[in-house]
A = this chain, B = another copy of it.
């Protein structure tokens, strides 16, 4: 079995044994079986509990030995002391994939670390694979499958994640956006990032890969795998434990060796992994890579209602090596009739006076179109006053933005809207899947820069001799 096939068992099992299911159900019980049923899983389920005949209508077995079926995956949620014998029982039953939910292993150090090695060695000797310990396990919304003990929302999103903490699964995607598949490696005793990357690389449901990394065991193998995968599917990474204290805390969380941050930085760069500095940036990048084209160059046209916003944009663009080119004479010629004679039109393109005089709707269409038609412009940033208050509806230019993005599919449009009650507008723009709205001009420009970097990475690959 290839690595990808081994990992597939964890995401697409047809039969699952859940060892250590509680009889307690309902809100606050964190019952793994209940969550799995609620998620709509239609595969065969075997709860193991010597004290129950059935739980939630599913017949229970006193021990794994009692199950006659072939089991693809075992999920073990027992006190840590019972885990080794349970793993042995699973191996005797021929199970090749195990998720160990239980805590108290390398995450607490000492005896726990020894116990973890013992369990891993048992599995390896039989060619079986382990996820965890100390994990929420797996989510696969394409097969209605989850091992989370917290009920999850179900999105069929092309974004798949690999993380070392349950927060990325149970955080309900508040800092990644909708996720279609996820795996929590926990203490990463056996299955590591490279293994899952091999599966995501060939998985047809996966288009974008997100990593939350505390520590990687085998750096060389990770690097080699990431270099193969990242030209095919963008890989984003949030690396935590980047400071000595953070690394120390990581050691006592997932038992990870966080390693020197500069080594990770170099590895990410070399393998084309896109690094996010924090959870907000991560969410921004995922949005951008999901729905925007990558700009062909670094020349950004800025359309703004406020000169002040244009200056804030200029500052961040300089810091991120993006350019604010002069607009072409044709563009200036197109727009001059709408601007006061004393106002020199430039980039940033300040359209406030024109909007005041000729109306926001008509002017927005005209200015945006002119900017996108300019051959010296690779991407557009819109700094947009968009108050949702009665009597100011004429400021809503979301339809104009969405239409323009269809008309100019090679040029990304990123929006920084400001004003009260932005929720509806942001939702409208972001749910269009064609334009991205972000809550600060700095974040909007950071996204354009990241898209530009991705494009440059791919262009360089194609230029390399075979």
Residue positions of A touching B, CB distance < 8 A? 27-28, 30, 80, 103-104, 107-108, 112, 149-151, 153, 163-168, 170-175, 212, 214, 240-246, 248-250, 252-254, 277-280, 305-312, 314-315, 317-319, 324, 340, 342-344, 346, 348, 350, 353, 356, 359-360, 385, 387, 389, 391-394, 418-420, 422-423, 439-443
Contact = CB atoms under 8 A, between A and B. Distances in A.
B420 A243 contact: no
A440 B310 contact: no
Contacts of A356: 30, 149
A389 B151 contact: yes
Contact of A245 (B280, B317, B353): B317
A75 to B, nearest CB: 16
Most chain B CB neighbours (cut-off 10 Å) among A249, A280, A391, A393:
A249
Contact of A311 (B166, B241, B278): B241
B348 A249 contact: yes
Contacts of A439: 280
B418 A307 contact: no
A2 to B, nearest CB: 30
A440 B167 contact: no
Contact of A306 (B167, B306, B324, B441): B167
A384 to B, nearest CB: 11
A248 to B, nearest CB: 8
A246 to B, nearest CB: 4
Given A27-B392, A166-B308, A167-B309, A279 B440 contact: yes
Nearest to A417: B174
A153 to B, nearest CB: 6
A420 B279 CA distance: 15
Contact of A360 (B28, B168, B423): B28
A172 B314 contact: no
Nearest to A315: B246
Contacts of A254: 307-308
A252 B344 contact: yes
A184 B391 CA distance: 24
A440 B308 contact: no
A310 B249 contact: yes
A334 to B, nearest CB: 20
A317 B246 CA distance: 9
A297 to B, nearest CB: 17
Most chain B CB neighbours (cut-off 10 Å) among A103, A314, A348, A441:
A314
B308 A108 contact: no
Contact of A253 (B212, B241, B310): B310
Most chain B CB neighbours (cut-off 10 Å) among A150, A307, A317:
A307
